[in-house]
Amino acid sequence: MNSLLPETARRTAAWCVVVLLVTGVAAVGVWLCIVFQSAVTPVLLALLGTALLGPVHGWLVRRKVNRALASALTCVALVAVVGGTGYVVVAALIDTGDQIVSSLSDAGDWIKEHFGIDQAADLGSAADSAKSLISKWGASAFSGVIAGISILASLLATSVLALLLMFFFLKDSDRAAGLAQTIAPGRLGETLEAMGRRAFEAVEGFMRGTTIIALIDAVCITVGLLILRVPGAVGLGALVFVTAYIPYLGATLSGAVAVLVALADRGWVIGLWTLGVILAVQQLEGNVLQPMIQSRHVQMHPAMVMLAITMGASVAGILGMLLAVPVLAAAFGIIGELRNPYGSEGPAPAELSSDPGSDS
């Protein structure tokens, strides 16, 4: 039978079988993640938190703090920072929310008047539509309250579970290598350990770099908006920081909102200045910050990032968009390990994270 097919056809058929098998395994993996989303989501969030706060835990361990206590203090610090940031963001948006909505409404009217775009009426009537929805909501208030409580309870449970998992991930990070050897003794266990280490390092670098870049972007844009006296500058800056965790798409959306607010409240001159500030910050990010901070860990082509964000949104909505790029970074880390194993670079460190301490 083989003699009936040329060598090229047999090779092509073999590669097709491999591609089909890999695609099938990936599809099953995605399906399992969707089915067990309530368990997978806290694990991914905990891993992201561990990657971001691993250095804090390592610093405490190096100061001879018990690993369990260091993990608990790190989790408490995370809750304090997230809670404080959330309070500042919510307070800023509440204080300037009416101003921003009014400016967006005026921006829609301005676009409709100067460009004759009827669709801009949707933007201009955003506040009226919101008020109309709120008035109609009274008819189904009870069901709405029940649904809201259910969503809030689900988010709270996910957050608590993710926080507990992060505690254990930090506390037992020094045992990750042993776990890989337990699952698959011998050479296979070493390979799994190295792949896991590469994936974690890629996610770690992405989270730290994104946080630093988001903070710099938010501060620069907020200062620029304050100088231009754009209403709601602090709230818009907070929006820039939050959306920065969705690469490319988040910066575009938050920048468009800032320009529309400036255009409506201060006129087209200030609107153009605002656009210039945002473009300058984005150029600083793309040409200086990204190469300096992110390139040392993992380099991802923008097309791959946008594709990952689209796939994440189709699978899990906004949460999928937030988790898509870290998952892609982990995949790039694994590919990097397969192409350039740790063994060719010298011995790997003993822990998954940067913690040098041991269980006390």
Model confidence over 97-111: pLDDT tens digits?
666 666 666 666 766
**pLDDT above 50: residue 120:** no
Higher pLDDT, residue 146 or 24: 24
pLDDT band at residue 326 under the 50/70/90 scheme: confident
Per-residue model confidence as pLDDT tens digits over 208-259: 888 888 888 889 999 998 998 887 788 788 888 878 877 777 778 888 888 8
**Mean pLDDT along residues 177-187:** 70
Selected residue with higher pLDDT from 152 and 295: 152
Q: Is 248 helix (H, G, I), strand (E, B) or coil?
A: coil
CA 219 to chain centre: 19
pLDDT band for position 116 (cuts 50, 70, 90): low
Low-confidence winner among 49-58, 204-213, 315-324 (lowest mean pLDDT): 315-324
pLDDT, greater one: 1 or 112: 112
Could you tell me which residue, 320 or 70, shows the higher pLDDT?
A: 70
Backbone angles phi, psi at 155, to 5 degrees: -65, -40
Average pLDDT (306-328) is 78
Backbone torsions φ then ψ of 117, nearest 5 degrees: -95, 110
Q: Residue 139: its pLDDT value, please? A: 45
Interatomic CA distance for residues 252 and 257, integer angstroms: 9
Alpha-carbon gap, residue 294 to 276, rounded angstroms: 25
Residue 118's pLDDT band, with cuts at 50, 70 and 90, is low
Own/partner long-range contacts of 54-58 (Cβ < 8 Å, ≥24 apart)? 54/170, 54/173, 54/204, 54/353, 54/354, 54/355, 55/208, 55/354, 57/170, 57/173, 57/353, 57/355, 58/353, 58/354, 58/355, 58/356, 58/357
* pLDDT (average), residues 103-128: 59
Q: Is the dihedral of CA 178, 180, 182, 188 positive or negative?
A: negative
Query: Which pLDDT value is given to residue 14?
Result: 87
d(CA 318, CA 330): 19
Q: How confident is the model at residue 21 (pLDDT cuts 50, 70, 90)?
A: very high
Weakest-pLDDT range from 140-144, 256-260, 269-273, 304-308: 140-144
- Residue 170: name the closest of 325, 321, 57, 276 by CA: 57
Q: What is the CA radius of gyration of the chain?
A: 24
Instruction: Name the residue type at position 259.
Output: V
